[in-house]
Amino acid sequence: MAASLSSLHHLSSSLLSISSVVSLRPIRYILPRLSCSLSSSSSSSREFNISFAPAKPKPKPQLEDSDPQLSGVDGQLFIPWIVRGEDGNLKLQSHPPTHLLQAMAHAETKTKATTAAAKKKKKETVAKTTEPKHSKASRRFYNENFKDSEQRLSKVLAAAGVASRRTSEELIFEGKVTVNGSVCKTPQTRVDPARDMIYVNGNRLPKRLPPKVYFALNKPKGYICSSGEKKSVLGLFEDYLKSWDKRYPGQTKPRLFTIGRLDVATTGLIIVTNDGDFAQKLSHPSSNMSKEYIATIEGKVGKKHLIAISEGTVIDGVRCIPDSVELLPDQPDRPRSRLRVVVHDGRNHEVRELVKNAGLEIHALKRVRIGGYRLPTDLGLGMHIELKQGDLMALGWKNELDLASSCGTIYEYLMWVLSLSTRVVKLLKSVTEQERFVAFAESDIKSACENCLVIDYNFSPNEAVAESSYPYTSGID
């Protein structure tokens, strides 16, 4: 019996010494429980059954909480904080002190600010190294004059001063226009006046289209804004057109027209041009161009009149409300009251209808502002002034206006060509020709690039003369 127990003990020791058995998770570190049973036969040896007791679950550690207030909801424990109260005594609480929370929030805010500043600095550094973007004016100047100079036939006829766009289309439909010897009845046909031979009623269309011109006119009373009438505002430009050949020798006279209209009795600012694209975008409702009028009123103007005007009126089924109405101070030399009315709808007789709806009568009406451009105070009735680049930008066509051919974004154009090729148009033989270009300092142009081409603007851009051997330091004529 002792020998059997000894051998059994040796067997159990051998089992525990095997790492693969001991490392099994269910029986790890568990000692076997031995039990023996006697067989019915006295001669048979004893049989031992080896079984393992189930693992006892580890008890969860429990912390003694002397203060019941520190125990959380549903048995959750909070980290106690030892703080000094207002009475100077130490006490336990379940949340950090207020000054510590404020310090943590301040540190987090400071970290975010530092990160934002670093990102901004990195963005500025990247922006300086990237290729500069060029304005739409410079890109359009390049595309129209050097890349693709073809335009719609109806637009070319209107730009050449043949007729308006609509009348030009009628001439094309009637078969009175030929292109390169063939009758063309499609207004959308793409043509290039410098290359194609275009005839209208047997007359050759000039290769060079007239330059785009822009004027501000102080319209007098009694003139209408339609062309072809006896007392048209376009008749006020006769002296200017008579001197056209001296100003622009060899170029076709432009066909001028007004942008918008003023009725016969209204005076003041009106824009005159030969640029159809400019006129269309300026007069389109999407431009949201405001217009300011000064209305001289018969009789006294009271508060009720101002309220009635500001509430608006219905014109052609649409309710029109002015942007602002203001009663101007009385002046000794002006016995009548004056109102400043700003509108943006631009409907026919809008200001007159607003004043009439308030029970007032207009003695005189004058438009003094369109967009950001104001009528010069020293511009007399019937006089006009040519608009410059800043004036056109004040009219709201900042990024889309083709100023390169009219007001001189030459520097932008040079930088645009610089991004396309190492040979850049740099020097213009006649930069100040017709006061259409702005002359920049020679040093600024030199810094644009190393190589240069010279374009002679005595010809059209398509017939430009390029001379790469032109002396670089000769300056601008």
Closest CA to 432 of 410, 449, 452: 410
> Can 263 be counted among the known catalytic residues?
yes
Which tokens go with 406? 């009219």
Q: How many CB atoms lie within 10 A of CB 383?
A: 13
Q: How far is CA 419 from CA 109, 114, 155, 405, in A?
A: 43, 36, 31, 20
The Cα–Cα gap between 209 and 462 comes to 12
**Residue 394: DSSP 8-state:** H
C-alpha distances in angstroms, 173 versus 157, 158, 168, 180, 185? 13, 15, 9, 17, 5
CB-based contact 354:341 (threshold 8 Å): yes
Exposed, middle or buried by CB within 10 Å (0-12, 13-18, 19+), for 261? middle
Contacts of 293 (CB under 8 A, 6+ apart): 268, 340, 341, 342, 343, 351, 365, 366, 367, 368
| Size of the chain in residues | 477
Amino acid type, 37? S
User: 220 — phi, psi (to 5°)?
Assistant: -85, 170
Chain-centroid distance of CA 300 in Å reads 46
| The one catalytic residue among 67, 148, 263, 477 | 263
Residues carrying an active site annotation:
263
